[in-house]
Amino acid sequence: MKRLLFSFALIIIFGTSVQGQSIETGIEFYEEGNYERALRIFQNSDAPTANLFAGKSYFALNNFIKAKHYLNLVDSTSGDVFAEAKYTKALAEFQLKNFAASLDLLHELKQDSKSPSVSRAAFSFYRDVVNYLTLDQRFTAFRSSNYDEVRLDLVEAGVGVLELESAKALFNAYKKSTVSDTADYASIETLLSDSAAYWQRYNPNRYTKAPSGLAYNIGVALPEFNIETSEFEIPQHLYFGIQLAVEKFNSENSDVKSFITYKNTEAKASKAANIANELVWNHDVDVIIGPLFSEVAKGMSAYAENYEIPMLTPLANSDSLNLDLNYTYQLNPTFAVQGKKMARYAIQTLGYDTLAVIAERGSLGEPSALAFLDEARVLGGEVVRYYVEDLESDGYDISKYMTNFDPEVDTVFNYGIDAVYAPFTGNIAETLISSLLTNLEAIDIDMTVLGSEEWETVDLQNRNLPDTEIYYTKTFERDPGNTDIEDFESEFRIRFNMDP
């Protein structure tokens, strides 16, 4: 939004008096993005232009409440300055989610022929806003607006965007609230009465487009580590990647911008509340990227939910992190998700229906095993052997469980197991993997192994398992044919003089 007002400002300023010389200096600071320095000049003057640009400077600093204070000081006798102040106030109301107040101001401005440039901008932004609002935002704006015309526009813009019953309810509310001739909305009434015609127009998968000129504030919550530690590069490279993406986005888009606000979470869950509140209340963030660790992310996820701010966790993979939460998104798949995906692959892709599971109780593989079991049952598969046991107490000797996989031993049931899912994790994974393969050799059976990422480096060349196949999950995998990744890596090296 900061760029939208520029052309108006230049028109207004060049007609100022001698007093305006200092104001023009402030405007130069404003145009350079030095808003704090500009404010020191504007706040020393009572001139309408000074109040306008004080409001615009606070708007650029995301201090929308203070922006409104200075914009309200511009009186209606100030001509174009007043019109621009009113327009900027409408933008501030939008940012504060006071949509009715924003629409009412824009409605007044778009009919103001005295300031055609402001009027055109108001018309464009007004149209964007009425098309953008969600059902609940539309409902609140409808109830709060002072103009029948605004309410009708909210109804019309909702047709084809809202599902039929919601659109009907909104239209009926409008009819009850107005005393105008019903002929004004006859076409809407006709469409809403024809459900077949309405459903042809309605697209439930369509996302409304945000108004042009918005500035998105991205909160980045990552820890800082000492440069000598092995963990130092992880958050540093994540931040550099975010920074590079933001710079590219801003260079490719003239009518929308994004900005970063960084907060150091350290590795302390106790800082989660302070950081979440600070980012929302004082930096007006639209989204949070981070935290890095599951413990800190758990603390922040509750605030993301309360404030309805999406939070994207790049590495946190706790299975309990986003349970029943609508605003926490884990980019690193949880262990439960990996188990679920592996069950789908085994049944739907490999065509298996008789399966076994073995995992260490209390390990990260346990939720994988449980999710595998549940998903296999849902898909019609049968897990005939399910061992999630305290393998440590047996010295990680799993032979007593593997014996039951041998059809010569299992003469009663003779299940004919297609594959065993073994999500071994942690430092003991290598020992358990070796034990499982040794047992498969001992019972002389080529059984497909489904595993965790720890199975990636297993080499069967020296094993007497000629027909055994291994499939494993990975949290991240590069698409070798994706040129976007190659371009990003190249830009990263040029920008930061290091490999990502």
Please give the domain boundaries of the chain with CATH numbers for all domains.
6-201 (1.25.40.10), 215-330 (3.40.50.2300), 336-472 (3.40.50.2300)
Q: How many residues does the chain have?
A: 500
pTM: 0.77
Q: What is the pLDDT of residues 318-359, one digit of tens each?
A: 877 767 789 999 988 889 999 999 999 999 999 999 999 999
Distance CA 169, CA 177 (A): 12
CA 131/CA 376 separation, integer angstroms: 44
pLDDT, tens digit, 9 for 90 and up, residues 447-461: 899 999 999 999 888
The Cα–Cα gap between 347 and 337 comes to: 16
Q: What percent of the chain has pLDDT over 90?
A: 54
Residue 419, SS3 per DSSP: strand
For residue 397, the one-letter residue type is D
> What is the model's pLDDT at position 411?
56
| Number of other residues whose CB lies within 10 A of the CB of residue 447 | 19
Query: d(Cα 143, Cα 186) in Å, to the nearest integer?
Result: 22
Q: What is the mean pLDDT of residues 397-401?
A: 89
Count CA atoms within 13 Å of residue 406 on its CB side: 14
Please report which helix (H) or strand (E) contains residue 357, including its range. Answer: strand 354-360
Ranges of beta strands (E only) in 181-276 are 215-222, 257-264
pLDDT in tens, 100-115: 999 999 999 998 767 8
Check pLDDT > 60 for residue 221: yes
B/e letters for 113-129, b = 16+ CB within 10 Å, e = fewer, are: eebeebbebbebbbebb
Q: What angle do CA 2, 8, 11 make, to 5 degrees?
A: 140
Query: Is the confidence at residue 147, as pLDDT, over 60?
Result: yes
Per-residue confidence (pLDDT) for residue 412, from 0 to 100: 52
pLDDT at 413: 55
For residue range 37-51, what is the model confidence (pLDDT) as tens digits? 999 999 999 999 999
> For all residues of the chain together, what is the average pLDDT?
87
Helical axes 148-158 vs 116-132, angle rounded to 10°:
50
Residue 17 has pLDDT above 80, yes or no: no
Residue 6 clears pLDDT 50, i.e. is over it: no
